[in-house]
Amino acid sequence: MNRQVHRLMKAAAATAVAATTAVAMAGTAHATTYYGGATTAYSGTNSGTMCDSNCTSGAPTQNLANLSKDLWTASKSVSAGVHFHPGDVTGGSTVAMSVKWGSVATTSGAYNNTYGSRFGFNFPAGDGSQRWEVVNATMTEHTSDGRTFTYTAGRSIPIMALDDVAFSPLNVTLLSDCAWIGDSNLNLYFTQSGVQGEVSFGLGKNDSHSIGEFARTWTEASVGSDLRMASVSFWNTDFHWSGAYLEGPPALSSQTVLPASSGTRSVSWIQEDGTNNCDARMSYSITTALRTYSV
């Protein structure tokens, strides 16, 4: 390698994805928590009640009315939480609870009158776009004198997958010589969402070069962030006199990064230089991690 120059240029788009903050009321620190299945959102709280087929005129007992009114929800990314504050039940009753997460799963537990209760679940990511899921909490009260009453309260919550996305360094392997003698002197340009870069270096045939400046990370990205795959172009400067070609960063790719399953995928292709004198293999990896939260 006979020379190496690096330069990054700002593009019109922002370089970072803004973090999304969950909107949730502060619950009791020691609330009993019940978690649903760990399958892999926008934020929000919702209110409103519903009655099941056995209850046409509201909750049948004051305890169930208290719980129905007190029920509150929170969500962020694919994570959802159903909460109850302490002290909603009097008279020695106990209340069993069953929370149905849309049509995906059901979580069961018991209301803790001393500390309150929390039920949590991670929805599937789906196609990554925002959707609304209905959560129903069925509460069954067992009174101290042996009677049983049941009531169902529902909420609608927003779910939208948030992912951490990372591009690895770009690896360049020269497959054919651009120069007749010695290393080929190359100018390489790349375009990503929010960033354009330029790197100059020398390579011989079958030699490889790793471009660390290509690596980038986005936090809490969504489908709406419109992250794109990288575009790359390179030029052989040995047979490139001034003004013969117009160098510069390539256009932003039309291929989007999200939605994608959690994990690492490899991207590789063979590309000809801008002067049609040589070929190089370009490769990098994309790591995507779905974010979950305690909400």
* Domain of residue 101, CATH code: 2.60.40
d(CA 186, CA 189): 10
79 falls within a domain:
yes
26 falls within a domain:
no
Residue 72 in 3-state DSSP? strand
Residue-level pLDDT at 13: 36
160, 176, 203 — which closes off a domain? 160
Residue-level pLDDT at 34: 60
169 falls within a domain:
yes
Residue-level pLDDT at 39: 33
223 falls within a domain:
yes
102, 127, 160 — which closes off a domain? 160
The alpha carbon of residue 171 and the mean position of all alpha carbons in its chain are separated, in whole angstroms, by 26
Same domain, 170 and 150: no
Confidence of residue 244 (pLDDT cuts 50, 70, 90): low
Same domain, 8 and 50: no
> Residue 214 is encoded by which pair of tokens?
């290509």
Contact indicator for 93, 142 with CB cutoff of 8 Å: yes
How confident is the prediction for the chain on average, in pLDDT? Answer: 83
d(CA 175, CA 20): 44
Same domain, 170 and 100: no
Same domain, 235 and 256: yes
- H or E segment to which residue 150 belongs: strand 148-159
160, 179, 210 — which closes off a domain? 160
What is the average pLDDT across 116-134?
96
Same domain, 232 and 134: no
Same domain, 252 and 218: yes
222 falls within a domain:
yes
22 falls within a domain:
no
d(CA 252, CA 194): 9
Number of Cβ within 10 Å of residue 165's Cβ equals: 21
80 falls within a domain:
yes
Residue-level pLDDT at 23: 30
Contact indicator for 66, 99 with CB cutoff of 8 Å: no
Q: Which residue has the tokens 């790349």?
A: 190
Same domain, 137 and 171: no
What is the average pLDDT across 219-248?
84
Q: Please enumerate, as own/partner, the contacts of 27-30 that have beta carbons within 8 Å and a separation of 24 or more.
A: 27/83, 27/85, 27/116, 27/118, 28/85, 28/86, 28/115, 28/116, 30/115
Q: Supply the pTM of this predicted model.
A: 0.79
Contact indicator for 284, 230 with CB cutoff of 8 Å: yes
25 falls within a domain:
no
| Domain boundaries, position 269 | 4-17+164-290
Contact indicator for 141, 95 with CB cutoff of 8 Å: yes
Residue 224 in 3-state DSSP? helix
Q: How many Cα neighbours within 13 Å face the side chain of 273? A: 27
Same domain, 82 and 186: no
Going from the C-alpha of 200 to that of each of 68, 172, 177, the distances in angstroms are: 65, 12, 16
DSSP class of residue 247 equals -
**CB burial class (10 A; 0-12, 13-18, 19+) of residue 18?**
exposed
Same domain, 153 and 201: no
d(CA 164, CA 166): 7
Residue-level pLDDT at 239: 63
Residue-level pLDDT at 237: 82
Structure confidence by residue, pLDDT tens digits, 16-75: 333 332 333 333 333 455 655 433 222 233 333 344 444 556 899 999 999 999 999 999
Same domain, 150 and 42: yes
Same domain, 74 and 95: yes
**Total number of domains in the chain:** 2
